[in-house]
Amino acid sequence: MQSFNTLKLTVDNNGLATVTMNRPEVHNAFNAEMIAELTQCFNQLNSDKSVRTILLEAAGKSFSAGADINWMKGMVNASQEDNKKDSENLATLLRTINFCSKTTVAKVNGLAFGGGVGLICCCDIAIGEDNAKFGLTEAKLGLVAAVISPYVIDAIGMRKARRYLQTAEVFDAEQAHKMGILSECVDSEKLDSKIDEIIKALTTTGTNAKEISKKLVMSVVGRTIPQQQKIDEYTTQVIAAVRVSDEGQKGLKAFLDKQTPDWS
């Protein structure tokens, strides 16, 4: 297996691949390198016939705080075209995880904001600790949760999405479970044992049966990859336009300067 700079990857003899986001010093925030490595890693695991289940977890105190501040600095001065190209990379990552043929499980601890919530919503199963915090916080910066929106709306539904994408409220694990972001929330000390329980249950079911079941759900109520690509073309256009808008620029600069935007 290939080594990565922002991730740790292990594969055991039972076909469990564990992908650990490994930027704990920045709460596993995204940057261009992590997005590229996660995409490459999931593509690699998807094509590996020995892999049956992929566990996505995070090192340190947080699952993912969303966009890395240094990555966001690059958004401020980037053109709309460059912002769109940048967003397309995130869209590719989310699409890769969402349509992965292997069973994907998210183990959620600490904070999960913005794109971190998007990652969780792309996984088949998500187990979180009861003291985790969640937020679709982009609107606080004058931005929108465009690229992650298809997967978030899949998980929580239109009505809740219309609220939380606008209010940018931070909410707890119990609320995340009620909303559909988490499959289950458990006491922090029971998180590992619950993950083990889920992984064990997955070993009792047929590999082909799992893959076909996942495709069945996608076919009945979801989208195909070509349909998702069309949606991604729209969402990446939206976020690119918002990032270079007056409000988006004000929000980003206020955040980077640790100031309050003038609409607050």
Mean confidence (pLDDT) of the chain: 95
DSSP string for residues in the chain: ----SSEEEEE-TTSEEEEEE--GGGTT-B-HHHHHHHHHHHHHHHT-TT--EEEEEESTT-SB-SB-HHHHHHHHHS-HHHHHHHHHHHHHHHHHHHT-SSEEEEEE-SEEETHHHHHHHHSSEEEEETT-EEE--GGGGT---TTTHHHHHHHH-HHHHHHHHHH--EEEHHHHHHHTS-SEEE-GGGHHHHHHHHHHHHHTS-HHHHHHHHHHHHHHHS--HHHHHHHHHHHHHHHHHHHHSHHHHHHHHHHHTT---TT-
List average pLDDT for each run of 10 residues in the chain, which is 264 residues long. 90 96 96 97 96 98 93 87 94 98 98 98 98 96 96 98 97 98 97 97 95 94 93 96 93 89 82
pLDDT of residue 226: 94
pLDDT of residue 71: 85
pLDDT of residue 264: 73
pLDDT of residue 91: 98
Residue 264 burial by Cβ neighbours in a 10 Å radius (0-12, 13-18, 19+)? exposed
pLDDT of residue 102: 97
Rounded Cα gap, residues 166 and 184, in angstroms: 25
Instruction: Give the global pTM.
Output: 0.95
pLDDT of residue 73: 85
pLDDT of residue 54: 98
| Cα torsion through 71, 73, 77, 81, rounded to 10 | 20
Q: Please write the tens of the pLDDT for every residue from 193-243.
A: 999 999 999 999 999 999 999 999 999 998 999 999 999 999 999 999 999
Q: Please write the tens of the pLDDT for every residue from 178-187.
A: 999 999 999 9
* Radius of gyration of the CA atoms of the chain, in A: 18
pLDDT of residue 44: 97
